[in-house]
Amino acid sequence: MKRSSIIFITAILAIVFASFAFAQGGPGQGMPNYDLRTEATVQGTIEDVQQHAGKHGWMGTHIILKTSAESLEVHVGPSSYIAEKQFSFAKGDSLSIVGSRVTIDGKPALIAREITKGGKVLTLRNASGIPLWSRGGRASN
C-alpha cells in the first residue's frame, strides 16, 4: 500500500510540473510581450494579409510589410477588433506602423501599437503597450 501511495504522489507531481512547463511554453511558442525599449516606426507596403487562429479562439490579423530594408511580419491584433474599428488592410496599401521590434521563431517581427493608412489611424495598444481589446487596456484609457 505504501508503494502505491508513493507512485500516486509521484504521478500527481509529474502532472503538476508538466502543466507548469506547458503553460510557460517551449522554444518557438508563445508571443513575446510588447517592449517599449524596442519601439520603432516602420513604413512600407503590404505584401500579404493573413488570418491566424489565436490560442484563445479568436482570429488574428497579420500583415507582411515590405519596407525599404526587409519584409517584416506585423502582428496586428484580433480581426474582430480591427473590424469593430472599421479598419481594413489590402495588398498594396501603404502603411506607417509604430510597434515593438521582436524576434519570433528566429525571425524579425513587429507587434503593432498604432497603424496609419491614408491619414486614418488605428490604435491597437495604449502608450504602455497594453492591448486596447483586453480588459486591462480599456481600463487604463
Q: Which tens digits make up the pLDDT trace of 76-129?
A: 999 999 999 999 999 999 999 999 999 998 999 999 999 999 999 999 999 999
Q: Which residue would you say has higher pLDDT here, 29 or 71? A: 71
Residue 135 DSSP label: H
Residue 7 covered by a domain: yes
Check whether residue 40 and residue 18 sit in a common domain: no
Residue 5 covered by a domain: yes
Q: Residue 130 above 60 pLDDT? A: yes
Check whether residue 13 and residue 81 sit in a common domain: no
Q: Are 48 and 66 in contact (CB under 8 A)?
A: no
Total-model pTM: 0.74
Q: Residue 43 above 80 pLDDT? A: yes
Residue 68 maps to which CATH number? 2.40.50.140
- Domain with 116, as residue range(s), is 36-134
Rg from Cα positions in the chain:
20
Check whether residue 25 and residue 42 sit in a common domain: no
Rounded to a whole number of angstroms, the distance between the first and last alpha carbons of the chain is 59
